[in-house]
Amino acid sequence: MPIYNPVSTYRLQFNKDFTLKDAEQIIPYLHKLGIKTIYASPVFQAVRGSSHGYDVTDPLQLNPEIGTVSDLSSLIKKVGKYNMGWLQDIVPNHMAFSVENPWIYDVLEKGKNSEFYPFFDILENHPEQELKNRLMLPFFGKPLEKLIEDKELTVSIAKNGFKLNYFDNQYPVSVSAYPTILESAPQQIIPESVSACLVALAQNKDFDKVRHNLLNDYHLAKETENYINECLSAVNNNPEKMKELVSQLYYQPAFWKDTEYKINYRRFFTINGLICVNVQHKEVFSTTHKLIESWLTNKVIQGVRVDHIDGLFNPTEYLERLRNLAGEEPYIVVEKILEEDETIPDNWPVEGTSGYDFLGMVNNLLTNPDKGKDFYSYYKNWIDDNDDFSDVFYRKSRFILYNRLKGELESLTRECSKINAISSLNLDGLKVQTTIGEFLVFCPVYKLFQAPSSFSEKEKQLVSTIFTEVKKKSSASENVVNVLEDLFLLRLPGSENEIPAIDTFFRHCMQFTGPLMAKGIEDTAFYSYNPFICHNEVGDSPGYFGICTETFHNYMKERLEKLPLTMNAISTHDTKRGEDARARLNVLSDMPEKWMGVTQKWREVNREFKQFDGDNEIPSPNDEYLIYQVVCAHLPMNAKIDDTFVNRMEEYLLKAMREAKVNSSWSDPNEYYENNTVAFARKILSPESKFTAILFAFMEALIPHGITNSITQLILKNTVPGAPDTFQGTEYWNLSFVDPDNRRPVDFARLSDQLQQIIAAHNTDAKKLAEKLWKEGSNGKVKQWITWLTLQERMNHENLFLKGSYIPLKVTGEFEKNIIAFYRNFHDEHLIVMLPLNTAALPDGFSWNNTQIELPASAPSKWINRITKELVITDQELKADEIFGVVPFGILRSSV
C-alpha cells in the first residue's frame, strides 16, 4: 500500500471549549473548503482545564473534557463519510508532572517500588542528600524549612490514603512515611488494626491491600479513627514531626525556583510541571503507545505528528519503532525546527516535518533582501547598542544555561566526570562544566542525532567546528576543550573501552541543546532583539533577511524530490504571530525610509507618555521599538482600535517583557516596569493621542500591501510541493498574537455561511466576485475564497501536486524581480502560478505591461484563469498585466 497522502490538513485545537462534538459539526464545512485530513492537537487525557493538550496525564485514555470514546467514534465516522482522514499529534517526550497523572501519583507514593518509576527520566544518586533517590517536587511557594515553620504543610486522611496538603494541593504520603504518622500519637495505645498495618509495612507486603485494610478500619472502628486523627494532629502541630515525616517521603517538597540551579529529573524545556519520559526503553514505548497503536491498526487515524523529536534520547531508534508499530501506510511527520541548510536525516522513516522550515522560507521570500543592512543599522542607533544577532544569541543562551538550566548542566558534568577516560586526567570540575556548557551554547543546530560511535565524517567535522568556536569565542580552558573534543571523537586514550558511556553522555548533552536554543533564542532573544520582528519566528531567525526567487525555487525542487509529502505551514500553535501579521511586517522591508521616518515621529510625539528615571526610560528604547512593530503587525484590517485589541496587546506585551528577561521575567517580575510600559501602550493608542493619526495614515499604505503578501504566501503554501496545513480559522485574516491568543475560538458558523455565499457567487460570475472581494479585501472574504479555490485544485488533482514537476519560470521585463512564477506538470495536467513580490517597493502608478513570463516550449497554448474563469491563449509567453488585470495573482490550469 502507498503511504497515506493527506493532500491538505486542517489543524484543530481541542480543549474543553472545543470538543469532539464541536468538531463533528464542522466536518461538512471543512470538506467543502477542500480539506482532506483533520490534523488534531493531542486528544489524550491531560491536566484539567488544559487549553492545548501537551500536558498529558494518561496517554492511554481520551481526554474526558473533550468528549467520550463514543464521541470520537461518531466524529471519525463523520470524517470517513466525507472521505477525509485523521492526523494525530502525539507527545512521546513528556507527560504532566502532576498528581492528576496516575503514574506520577504512583511514583510519589511508592518510589522505586512503583512499576512506573522507570518510565520517567529521574536522576538517581543526586549529590545533595535531600535529593538522593528522592524525586524533587518543585511546586511550592517557599523553601521547605519556611513551609514547615509557617505550618503551610499538613497531613490528612482521604479515601485513598494519607495526603500531604499545601493549600488546595494534595500529594500522596509515601508508603515509607506511613509509620511516622501511625506512631505519632502521644501516650496512646496503638489499636490492633494499626499495629497490623505497621507490621505489614515492615514486611513489605502488598501496600494497596494494607492501605485498604487500614482505611476500612478507620471508617468502621471508632478506636482506629480516633487514634489516627490523634496522630495527624500530633504531626500537624509539631514542626519536628513534620520534618521527620517529610524526610521519609520518596519525594522532596521544594521551592519552585530551586530548579534554576538544581534538579533531579529531566523537564520539558524549563517547565517544572512537565516531566520527560524514558520512551527509549522498549517497555515504556510499548506501554505509552498502546492507544495510538490501536488507532493505527484499526485505521481510526491515518497518521501521526510527533511532538518535540529533539527531546528524545535516540530519535532515529524511536522513529524506527514507531514505523514498525504503524506499518508502511500511515503518514508520519515530526515537529522539527531546521537551521539554515539543515535537513532531517535521510534514514528517518518519515514523510517530513510539520512545516516550520516552509514558514521560514516563505517569510524570507516576502522580505526584500536588499534592505537588511538599513534595518540593522537603524535599530542599533535606536537602542544605542552595536550587538548583532550572534552576540545576543550567545548572551541569551548562556543566561538560560547558567540561570535556568544550571542543575541540568551540573548533572551532565557529573556524568562526564564518571567516565574513566576523563576522571583519570584529574581535570578541574568547574573547567569541565564550563567547557560542556560552551559546547552546548555554540551548537548551531537543535540536535545532532547520532552518537559518537556512529558519527559520519560530516558530523565529526561539525563537532570539531563547534569546539573551534568555543576556543575562539569563549573563556573555556583550551586544554579541557581539546579533551572533550577528543572524547566525543573517540580519540581520547581509553575511550575505546567506554564507548557506550560516551555515546550515552553525548546523547544526554543533545537532549539539552534543543531546550537551550528554544529557551535562549526562541523564548528570550526573539523577544529582546527586535530589528525586524517579522523574522523572530519559529523556523526563521532575525539573522536572516530575505532570499531571492532562485533560492526559493531550488528549495522547492529539492522538496519535491526528497520530501513531497512534508507539511507546508505558515501558522501553527507555536508561531509568535499570525501569518497575516507577518505578511504585513514584510512590507516594511520594501519601504525602510518611510518606516524610519514615521517611527522617528512616533518617538517624538510619544515621549510625553514615557517615564524617565535618570538615564533609564520606561519603556526602554528597545521595548518602545517593539511596540511600534507590534501595533503595525496586529492592528485589525479595519484599523479599529477598541478595548478588545488593546487588552489583547497588553497581554502580549506582558508576556514579551517577561520572556525577554531584560526588564522583567517570569521568575522575578518587575511590576513597576511592566505597569508603566503597558500604560504607555494604552496612552499612545487612545483617541486623544497624536500617535494614532500618524499611525492610521501610515497603515493606509501598509495594509493593502500586507494583504497582497498574505495572498501570495497562501497561494504558495497551497500550490508548491508539500502538504498544505491550515491552522484553525486562518482561512480568514489571522492577526493573532502568540499563544494563548492564537487559540481564541473560531466562529465556524459564520465561516461556513460565508463560504457558501462565496462558492455560489464564484459559480455565477467568477470575475465579478474577484473584483468585489479584492476591492473589499479587508473583510477577509478574499482569503477564504483563495483558500477554497486553491484547495479545490489540490483535492481534484492529487497527482499533479504530489508527483507533478516543479519548473521555475523565467520572468523578464522592468519588474522581473517582483514576480515569482512556476509551472507544474503531470502527464496531461498543467498548472501555472504567478505571484507578485515586494509590491510596496514598486513606483507609484507603475504598470506590469512590460513584464512577462516565459513558458516551456512543451506548455499548452490554452489556459483557464482559475481566479476569473477567463480563457487565456498564449504564444509561449504570459503578459503580467493581462493576468494581473483583475487581481494581482495568476493561477492557470490546462488539461490537454
pLDDT in tens, 150-170: 999 999 999 999 999 999 999
Beta strands per DSSP E along 350-508: 352-353
pLDDT-derived band at 387 (thresholds 50, 70, 90) equals: confident
What is the per-residue pLDDT for 711? 98
What is the per-residue pLDDT for 840? 95
Torsion of CA 517, 519, 522, 528, to 10 degrees: -120
Q: Which residues contact 863 (CB under 8 A, 6 or more apart)?
A: 830, 832, 871, 872, 873, 874, 892, 893, 894
Query: Residue 836 — φ and ψ, nearest 5°?
Result: -85, 150
Residue 668 has pLDDT above 70, yes or no: yes
Complete DSSP assignment for 857-891: TTS-SEEEETTT--EEE-SSEEEHHHHTSSSS-EE
Query: Residue 383 — φ and ψ, nearest 5°?
Result: -95, -5
Residue 1 has pLDDT above 80, yes or no: no
Q: Which residues contact 857 (CB under 8 A, 6 or more apart)?
A: 876
Residue 214 has pLDDT above 80, yes or no: yes
Q: Which residue from 394, 415, 466, 140 is spatially nearest to 266, judged by alpha carbons?
A: 415
Better pLDDT: 615 or 476: 476
Give the predicted TM-score (pTM) of the model: 0.94
Mean pLDDT of 651-674: 94
Query: Residue 840 — φ and ψ, nearest 5°?
Result: -70, -15
Q: Which CATH fold would you assign to the domain 803-895? A: Immunoglobulin-like (2.60.40)
User: Which amino acid makes up residue 100?
Assistant: E
**Domain boundaries, given as residue ranges, for the chain:** 9-93+279-354, 102-268, 389-517, 803-895
Q: Which CATH number fits domain 102-268: 3.30.1590.10, 3.30.1050.10, 3.90.25.10, 1.20.120.1200?
A: 3.30.1590.10
- Backbone angle region of 299, left / alpha / beta, with phi > 0 → left and psi within -120 to 50 → alpha: left
Residue 895 has pLDDT above 70, yes or no: no
Question: Any idea which residue has 517521603 for its cell?
Answer: 249
High-pLDDT (> 90) share of the chain, % = 88
What is the per-residue pLDDT for 463? 95
Rounded CA separation 242/36 (Å):
59
DSSP state of 177: G
pLDDT digits (tens, 9 = 90+) for 313-340: 999 999 999 999 999 999 999 999 998 8
What is the per-residue pLDDT for 688? 87
CA angle 796, 801, 805 (to 5 degrees): 135
What is the per-residue pLDDT for 888? 95
Rounded CA separation 546/587 (Å):
12
Better pLDDT: 187 or 850: 850
Residue 570 has pLDDT above 90, yes or no: yes
Residue 525 has pLDDT above 70, yes or no: yes
Q: Which residue from 305, 295, 292 is spatially nearest to 39, judged by alpha carbons?
A: 305
Torsion of CA 179, 180, 185, 188, to 10 degrees: 40
What is the per-residue pLDDT for 875? 85
Label residues 475-508 b or e (16+ Cβ within 10 Å = b): ebbeebbebbbebbbbebeebeebeebbbbbbbb
Range from 72-81, 356-365, 496-505, 539-548 carrying the lowest mean pLDDT: 539-548
The answer to whether 685 and 643 have CB atoms below 8 angstroms apart is: no
* Bridge partners of residue 62, in order along the sequence: 44
Please give the C-alpha separations between residue 883 and each of 589, 766, 834, in angstroms, as whole numbers. 26, 14, 9
Q: Which residues contact 323 (CB under 8 A, 6 or more apart)?
A: 332, 349, 350
Q: Which residue from 31, 36, 27 is spatially nearest to 6, judged by alpha carbons?
A: 36
pLDDT-derived band at 896 (thresholds 50, 70, 90) equals: low
pLDDT-derived band at 295 (thresholds 50, 70, 90) equals: very high
The average confidence (pLDDT) of the chain is: 94
Q: Which residue from 91, 469, 465, 136 is spatially nearest to 272, judged by alpha carbons?
A: 136
Rounded CA separation 168/165 (Å):
7
Question: What is the CA 67 to chain-centroid distance, rounded?
Answer: 25
Rounded CA separation 500/505 (Å):
9
Q: Which residue from 361, 712, 714 is spatially nearest to 540, judged by alpha carbons?
A: 361
High-pLDDT (> 70) share of the chain, % = 100
Mean pLDDT of 657-676: 93
What is the per-residue pLDDT for 491? 94
Rounded CA separation 210/212 (Å):
5
pLDDT digits (tens, 9 = 90+) for 461-493: 999 999 999 999 998 899 999 999 999 999 999
Mean pLDDT of 675-692: 94
Q: Report whether the peptide linkage leading into residue 619 is cis, meaning its omega lies within 30 degrees of zero.
A: yes
pLDDT digits (tens, 9 = 90+) for 744-789: 999 999 999 999 999 999 999 999 999 999 999 999 999 999 999 9
Rounded CA separation 588/546 (Å):
12
Q: Which CATH fold would you assign to the domain 9-93+279-354? A: TIM Barrel (3.20.20)
Rounded CA separation 390/384 (Å):
17
Residue 294 has pLDDT above 80, yes or no: yes
Rounded CA separation 666/260 (Å):
12
What is the per-residue pLDDT for 553? 97
